[in-house]
Amino acid sequence: MNLDKYTKSPLTYMGGKYSLLNFVIPKFPKECVIFIDLFGGSGVVLENYNNSKLYLYNEKDKNIFEIMKWLFKNSYENIISDLNEIQNKYNLLQTLDHENQKKNYLILRNDYNEGNKTPQMLYMLSRCSINNLIRFNSSGGFNTSFGKIGYSKNTIKMIKEFKDKISNKSIGIDNIDYEEYLVYIYDYSKPKDFFIYIDPPYLGTDTEYNKKWLDEDDIKLFNHLDKLNELNCKWALSNVIIHNGIEHKTLNNWIEQNKNKYNVYTKEKEYSPFFTKNQGKSSIEVLITNYKEVE
Ligand SMILES: C[S@@+](CC[C@H](N)C(=O)[O-])C[C@H]1O[C@@H](n2cnc3c(N)ncnc32)[C@H](O)[C@@H]1O
C-alpha cells in the first residue's frame, strides 16, 4: 500500500480513514467549490484532499471537536508549546520506567477529570492511553488505561505535517449534528457547489461512537443522500458492506435499489497479521458516489 503522498492526522482515531485514503481520495472530484467533511473525526480526509476552494469540517462529539479546533486554529509553535508545558508539568517522559510513566499519566488523568478539562490535556492523555483510545465512563470521566508515553518525535512530525498541509486552505469548523448541518445545505441556493464526504459511524462495528448508531440512523442517512442527489449535490459515502463476516443488510438493500443511479467501489479490508481477533472473518469496505470521476 503506497501511502507516501498522504499524511496522518495527529489525532490517532478509531475509524480514522488514513489507511483507506488511497482508495477514497482518487475517486473524489478533481475540483469543487466547497468540500464538506460532514463526520470529520480526525480530519485526515480534509487534510489530504486538495481540490476545493473552501473546506468545511463538522464533528458532533464535543471532545473530539475541541481537540480538532485546537489543532486547526493554533500555530504549530503554540501547539507544541502547549504540549511541552503539560509534558513538563506531569513529567511525562519516555525515559522513565513503566511504573513511573503510568503513575504520572494517572495524575494527569485525575487532574483532567477533577479540574478544568482542556483539549490539550485530553490530547496528551490520548497520546499516552492504550491504543490512543479516547473513552469516557457514564459519569463523563476519561477512563482509558495507560499504554505508553506517546508524545514523541513522531507526534511532533504528525503535527508539523498536518499544519503544513492545511496552511493554504480556507477552513471552517462546526460542532453540530449532521442533520442540522444539512438544513443549511438544503437552504443554500447553489447546492451544485458542494461536494460532501460522508463517513458516518458504521453499524455493528465496535468503536465508542458506533454503539449509538442504529439501523434507523442508516435509513435516515440514506434518505438524505437520495435527497441531496436530487438537488445535484455531489457526495461520497464510506461504509462497510460486510464487517467481520456479517453483512450490512440495510446498506446492501439501498445499494441494490439504486444500482443504476450510484457508483459502488469495494475494497477487501487487510488485517495486520498481528491482529488475530478478526482473522478469517472478511470485511469489505465500500465507497459509494453519486458522480463518476475518471481516476
Ligand atoms: C467513522 S468516524 C469518521 C472518521 C473520519 N473520517 C476520520 O478519518 O477520522 C464517524 C464520526 O462521526 C461522528 N458522529 C457521530 N454521529 C454524528 C452525527 N449525528 N453528526 C455528526 N457527526 C457524528 C463521530 O463522533 C465520529 O467522529
> Would you say residue 111 lies in a domain?
yes
Q: At 278, is the pLDDT very low, low, confident or very high (cuts 50, 70, 90)? A: low
Q: What is the pLDDT of residue 4?
A: 63
C-alpha distances in angstroms, 288 versus 127, 256, 280? 33, 12, 25
Q: What is the pLDDT of residues 231-243, one digit of tens each?
A: 999 999 999 999 8
CA distance linking residue 46 with residue 234, whole number of Å: 16
Q: What is the pLDDT of residue 116?
A: 85
The SS3 assignment for 55 reads strand
Q: How far does residue 48's CA lie from ligand 1's centre (Å)?
A: 17
User: Which one is predicted more confidently, 1 or 226?
Assistant: 226
Q: How far does residue 177's CA lie from ligand 1's centre (Å)?
A: 10
Q: What is the pLDDT of residue 189?
A: 84
> Would you say residue 168 lies in a domain?
no
Q: What is the pLDDT of residues 108-126, one digit of tens each?
A: 999 999 998 999 999 999 9
Q: How far does residue 79's CA lie from ligand 1's centre (Å)?
A: 24
Q: What is the pLDDT of residue 107?
A: 98
Q: Is 134 in the pocket of ligand 1 (CB under 6 A)?
A: no
> In this structure, are 124 and 40 located in the same domain?
no
> Would you say residue 295 lies in a domain?
no
Q: What is the pLDDT of residues 32-44, one digit of tens each?
A: 999 999 999 999 9
Torsion angle of C-alpha atoms 50, 270, 61, 230, degrees rounded to 10: 60
Q: Which of 8, 20, 39 to mutate to test the pocket of ligand 1 (most atoms within 8 A of CB)?
A: 39
The count of other CB atoms within 10 Å of the CB of residue 280 is 8
> In this structure, are 42 and 76 located in the same domain?
no
Q: How far does residue 237's CA lie from ligand 1's centre (Å)?
A: 12
Look at residues 243, 229, 230 and name the one whose alpha carbon lies nearest to residue 288.
229
Q: How far does residue 6's CA lie from ligand 1's centre (Å)?
A: 20
> Would you say residue 76 lies in a domain?
yes
Q: Is 42 in the pocket of ligand 1 (CB under 6 A)?
A: yes
Number of domains composing the chain: 2
Q: At 106, is the pLDDT very low, low, confident or very high (cuts 50, 70, 90)? A: very high
Average pLDDT over residues 11-33: 95
> Would you say residue 294 lies in a domain?
no
> In this structure, are 113 and 180 located in the same domain?
no
> Would you say residue 225 lies in a domain?
yes
> In this structure, are 208 and 143 located in the same domain?
no
C-alpha distances in angstroms, 11 versus 160, 176, 253? 12, 20, 34
Query: Backbone phi, then psi, for 145, in 5-degree steps?
Result: -70, 165
> In this structure, are 264 and 186 located in the same domain?
yes
Phi-psi region of 132 (alpha: psi -120 to 50; beta: other; left: phi over 0): left
Assign residue 136 the CATH number of its domain.
Answer: 1.10.1020.10
> In this structure, are 25 and 47 located in the same domain?
yes
Q: How far does residue 88's CA lie from ligand 1's centre (Å)?
A: 32
Q: C-alpha grid cell for residue 153?
A: 518525535
> Whose C-alpha lies nearest to ligand 1, atom 12?
39
Average pLDDT over residues 96-115: 97
> In this structure, are 46 and 80 located in the same domain?
no
With helix as H, strand as E and coil as C, how does 146-169 read?
ECCCCCCHHHHHHHHHHHHHHCCC
Torsion angle of C-alpha atoms 103, 76, 43, 31, degrees rounded to 10: -170
> Whose C-alpha lies nearest to ligand 1, atom 25?
61
Q: Which of 23, 49, 59, 185 to mutate to test the pocket of ligand 1 (most atoms within 8 A of CB)?
A: 59
Q: What is the pLDDT of residue 254?
A: 97
> In this structure, are 133 and 37 located in the same domain?
no
CA distance linking residue 100 with residue 39, whole number of Å: 37
Q: How far does residue 200's CA lie from ligand 1's centre (Å)?
A: 5
Which residues fall within 8 angstroms of residue 7, CB to CB, at 6 or more apart? 47, 48, 158, 161, 162, 165
Q: What is the pLDDT of residue 1?
A: 47
Q: Is 10 in the pocket of ligand 1 (CB under 6 A)?
A: no
Assign residue 275 the CATH number of its domain.
Answer: 3.40.50.150
> In this structure, are 84 and 135 located in the same domain?
yes
> In this structure, are 214 and 284 located in the same domain?
yes
160 pLDDT above the threshold of 50: yes
CA distance linking residue 108 with residue 295, whole number of Å: 47
Query: For 187, what's the count of Cα atoms within 13 Å in the CB-facing half-sphere?
Result: 6
> In this structure, are 33 and 136 located in the same domain?
no
Task: Give the range of the structural domain holding residue 221, as residue numbers without chain letter.
Answer: 18-60+176-289
Residue with cell 483539549: 119
Average pLDDT over residues 103-107: 98
Strand partners for 239: 286
Which of 126, 156, 186 delimits the end of a domain?
A: 156
Q: At 208, is the pLDDT very low, low, confident or very high (cuts 50, 70, 90)? A: confident
State the pTM of this model. 0.94
Which ranges of 146-248 does DSSP label H, i.e. alpha helix? 153-166, 178-187, 215-230
Strand partners for 91: none
> In this structure, are 131 and 102 located in the same domain?
yes
CA distance linking residue 173 with residue 40, whole number of Å: 9
Q: C-alpha grid cell for residue 271?
A: 488485517
> Would you say residue 127 lies in a domain?
yes
Buried b (16+ CB within 10 A) or exposed e, 185-197: beeeeebebbbbb
CA distance linking residue 220 with residue 213, whole number of Å: 11
Mean pLDDT of the chain: 93
> Would you say residue 162 lies in a domain?
no
Average pLDDT over residues 256-266: 96
Which of 123, 156, 189 delimits the end of a domain?
A: 156
